[in-house]
Structure 1
């Protein structure tokens, strides 16, 4: 970090990483000073080529207008200081003015960070942290889940991309900023936060209790599968940190030493990270001489990162994406598709195609502004569109079931949404309640009793907290079983044909 400016092209959102370690921000993809000098040079050259005396005069007039506007701001500040009925803190007035300007941009990825928040942002980019393990952004005025981390408390609790957080511990947050909402969710490991969720496609809101925990960030994981007589390697990327490319190379070398005959790169639920990280990974798998990504400045000038891979890979590949794949994940998936000619399997990605720079304001606080766009290898702008997979595959419907959380015991003739969820889970687990409308009839009770017997629970045919916990754990096991992962299974099939 010391030798780099902080240029951000990642999700630009807040990560719910709360507790003793404080608040973690999603940094996003970082562009090095050398790359930024090239971009700055291209902008300066274009300005020099189009410069004129008339434009210089217009610039002077614009500067005078800005100076007049700032004078008005200063006057308002002094008037409030001298005349307002109550005492006000100067620092809060200044920070409020800055936040007001940033809010006026109506850009969810531009943000003002006070000194404390900025420090935590920098320190947490590659750190292990305590929290619920989910990334959020402000979407259409709602604090929205972008993606829960793999095996995190957020994922265990059933939070999903596009879930809107309506209340935190019973308090509405519609008038709060993203920072304010995040500060309410923060807490120590082992403590519980209750989030009221509005999920697209679900009629009613529901509460989700999430127990905060320590969130270790393993940015790269690998494993092998046997498919059609061939060994296929799977590299799962959870984020793009500073050392992710090095770990990726280590895992890839190990897989190749095992003689893999195909490779799947899984970036589902990956919110992004450092730009130079995904560029370096591109150098490892994208054919040499082909573009990995393009960065476009406000003047329309672009800079390409070209893969320097010396020897192209001789095995088929595929990428896997979902709606939680953002920014750097989209860069890699698009490069594999457009420059590598490989399939992308799954669902359309998030659609985050802007680049932010974090600017130091001199007192430790920082202003994060969208200054550039990134384009795919072929020059396509995917912002708010996402990368469309070449092979669209949806996961089984039970992958998106709300978390089962029971605060009271339900018996025969009760009717509740939690009973409906339990009936859905029982069906997936090969029990047959014969209905999924939330009414606990005799057959549902009998199937609950059969499940309780199998699990060694009290056989009462009721939906109590103990039974709900067991049902929830069983459905989580089904979701995490690779055999049930339709997207992964399709990718494995494609690279082993």
Structure 2
């Protein structure tokens, strides 16, 4: 698939936005637009008055650029948890991260109630080795309280030169007191696809969707097919548990590898003309081998697109627990030398027209597994988009809570993985398991 899909989508949305603004300017003579415009200018004047009063009368000298940046962030974060302003440095860091290599701790985070919340640690990084977990709250960095910082400020403090140490103060549900975790910063190279042979089954784990993911997946399938042999290969397990997502074009490419035509995903924005549909090309690189997709409460965004597409096409059996439910599109709009705007511009829909937002993907086969420590302490470990303050509401129907995101480190304790292996080996029967059966209904 063309790896410029995300960039093209971002630019396209930016141009559409500019066109809409241009149209509105053409109708400023109408009473409705005039009234709306007058009210907007009055609010902007209010902002200017407050800004000048702060500059003139605050007890200490102020940083004008910082005031404006925080005002912009306040406006965007009031929309939903995923819209934000990126400073030039943050924008550069994001571009580096999507290329698959950057410096830091290896942790996906968001902001909640003024503190940093762990979405998921990335495999084989300082964060995962320190046993940080989804739903952990980071309250202090090297003793400095996070409350009052922006997410960008907190992330900047967690980054630093390789081999230097940082101490995070963590609050974990079920633990009576906060505790400190000391980590050593490292170069985080995200090899987003890992794989190994499980007997006559190919096991593939996708940890995120960066610029390398589709190529690495195709290499994994090729290597496993050669290792096992075409006559013995029983199928593939695609493990996307605790995969926080990433690039849209990579989710489309990964889905395209398994689907022999038809729609993969559509995005629908505020206006009907903003709707975009992405379709698969002919060809299935697994030659129709059975596929089981593993998801849980930490599977979000791009991983939900893949799971939803394969499920709707009846190309794979989805197994595990309900996914995160992050079904909104964030467009990165560069602002020249002033950084970039990360703005929620649309919702994702599966080929069958299901909105993922605040609902997630329900597995065909539900297999739960709870952290033994959480069970013992009776603490809640479920996460999901619908639990985030200020989230974009589900378009219709009831919102669904997330699910557990625990994955045991030892394979023998991993009930979801073992269930999938048994299905592919024929050692377990389940009416919801597709096996080699696929449907062309969605492709038509």
Structure possessing the higher radius of gyration over alpha carbons: 1
1:139-218 → structure 2 map (5 Å cutoff): 139-218=112-191
For residues 341 and 283 of structure 1, do their structure 2 counterparts lie closer, same or farther at Cα, with a shift above 3 Å needed? closer
The structure 1 residue matched to 2:216, chosen from 247, 250, 275, is: 247
Query: Aligned equivalents of 1:397 and 1:491: distance in 2?
Result: 19
Which residue matches 1:334? 308
The structure 2 residue matched to 1:298, chosen from 247, 251, 270, is: 270
Query: Aligned equivalents of 1:38 and 1:184: distance in 2?
Result: 32
For residues 55 and 108 of structure 1, do their structure 2 counterparts lie closer, same or farther at Cα, with a shift above 3 Å needed? farther
Give CA-to-partner distance per residue, 1:308-358, whole Å, 9 cap, x none.
233584221110112221110111112222223522222322221111122
Q: In the TM superposition, what is the alpha-carbon distance from 1:140 to its structure 2 partner?
A: 4.3
Q: 2:366 matched to 1:392?
A: yes
For residues 92 and 38 of structure 1, do their structure 2 counterparts lie closer, same or farther at Cα, with a shift above 3 Å needed? closer
Aligned partners of 2:11 and 2:333 also within 8 Å = no
Give CA-to-partner distance per residue, 1:439-492, whole Å, 9 cap, x none.
xxxxxxxxxxxxxxxxxxxxxxxxxxxxxxxxxxxxxxx954433322211112
For residues 178 and 81 of structure 1, do their structure 2 counterparts lie closer, same or farther at Cα, with a shift above 3 Å needed? closer
Q: In the TM superposition, what is the alpha-carbon distance from 1:36 to its structure 2 partner?
A: 6.5
Which residue matches 1:453? none
Q: 2:225 matched to 1:256?
A: yes
Which residue matches 2:414? 485
Aligned partners of 2:239 and 2:295 also within 8 Å = yes
Which residue matches 1:444? none
SS in 2 for 1:277: helix
For residues 92 and 166 of structure 1, do their structure 2 counterparts lie closer, same or farther at Cα, with a shift above 3 Å needed? closer
Q: In the TM superposition, what is the alpha-carbon distance from 1:233 to its structure 2 partner?
A: 0.9
The TM-score with structure 2 as length reference comes to: 0.77
Say what the alpha-carbon RMSD is for the aligned residues: 3.5
Which residue matches 1:90? 64
Give CA-to-partner distance per residue, 1:72-116, whole Å, 9 cap, x none.
4334444555566654333223223322322333x2211112222
Q: 2:37 matched to 1:63?
A: yes
Which residue matches 1:353? 327
Give CA-to-partner distance per residue, 1:167-223, whole Å, 9 cap, x none.
333343233322222233223333332322222344443332222222221111222
Greater Cα offset, 274-283 or 130-139? 130-139
Query: Aligned equivalents of 2:134 and 2:7: distance in 1?
Result: 30
1:70-85 → structure 2 map (5 Å cutoff): 70-81=44-55
Query: Aligned equivalents of 2:258 and 2:12: distance in 1?
Result: 27
Query: Aligned equivalents of 1:278 and 1:302: distance in 2?
Result: 18
Query: Aligned equivalents of 1:152 and 1:393: distance in 2?
Result: 27
The TM-score with structure 1 as length reference comes to: 0.69
Aligned length: 388
Which residue matches 1:270? 243
For residues 323 and 210 of structure 1, do their structure 2 counterparts lie closer, same or farther at Cα, with a shift above 3 Å needed? farther
For residues 144 and 171 of structure 1, do their structure 2 counterparts lie closer, same or farther at Cα, with a shift above 3 Å needed? same
Q: In the TM superposition, what is the alpha-carbon distance from 1:495 to its structure 2 partner?
A: 2.4
Query: Aligned equivalents of 1:37 and 1:241: distance in 2?
Result: 21
Query: Aligned equivalents of 2:330 and 2:111: distance in 1?
Result: 16
Gapped regions of structure 2 (runs ≥ 5): 378-406, 427-444
For residues 41 and 131 of structure 1, do their structure 2 counterparts lie closer, same or farther at Cα, with a shift above 3 Å needed? closer
Gapped regions of structure 1 (runs ≥ 5): 5-29, 403-416, 418-477
